[in-house]
Amino acid sequence: MPKIAQSLGGSLAAHIEYRDGGTSVALFGKVTEAADFSKLTALRTALWVDLSAVENINSLGVRAWCNFVRDCERAKQPLVIEKMAPVMVQQMSMISSFMGTHAQVKSIFVPYLCPSCNAEDLRLVELTSRDAPVTVPSNVLCPKCKTPMQVDELDGMYENLFGTTAAR
């Protein structure tokens, strides 16, 4: 099936692809007050949402997102989140209703920063279940200078949110 490009308001857009058992949606751009997720809830199928290309989310975008998650729950529309961008993980760590009670987060991007050359990198981390601790790789080497990188997070955000453990 071909991907369908769909504007969701402002600079937010989606690539929508229908598949057996549901719909794959890749969001890209900025989630702002102009975001309108009603086109997604109107699909009335399970949604697999890729958030890797979400660049930013403002406070009114957070409200629009939380309303979308709530609307999916009310409609009993399964919502699976994949490749969650760090800007979305930050919001999830601060807002208890950001993912509702039924949305399933399958994977997140963890940001790394090199203390030597300030290079940034992202690593995709798979989540096994809603309550299981996340194993965050700790042996990530800078692609530029090969110095060990550090997780670039806010005050233990990943540990507080997911009960992380460091992989060796």
Q: What are the pLDDT digits (tens) for 24-72? A: 999 999 999 999 999 999 999 999 999 999 999 999 999 999 999 999 9
The angle subtended at Cα 40 by Cα 37 and Cα 42, nearest 5°, is: 110
Specify the residue for token string 């994977």. Answer: 107
pLDDT at residue 162, as a whole number? 61
Q: Is 126 exposed, middle or buried (0-12, 13-18, 19+ CB in 10 A)?
A: exposed
Cα separation, 97 vs 115, in Å, equals 34
Q: Are 58 and 81 in contact (CB under 8 A)?
A: no
Phi/psi of residue 25, nearest 5 degrees: -130, 125
| Domain 1-105 indexed as CATH 3.20.20.140 | no
Cα separation, 128 vs 42, in Å, equals 29
pLDDT at residue 168, as a whole number? 40
Cα separation, 148 vs 1, in Å, equals 42
Q: Taking residues 149-161, report their average pLDDT.
A: 72
For the chain, the structural domain boundaries read 1-105, 112-168
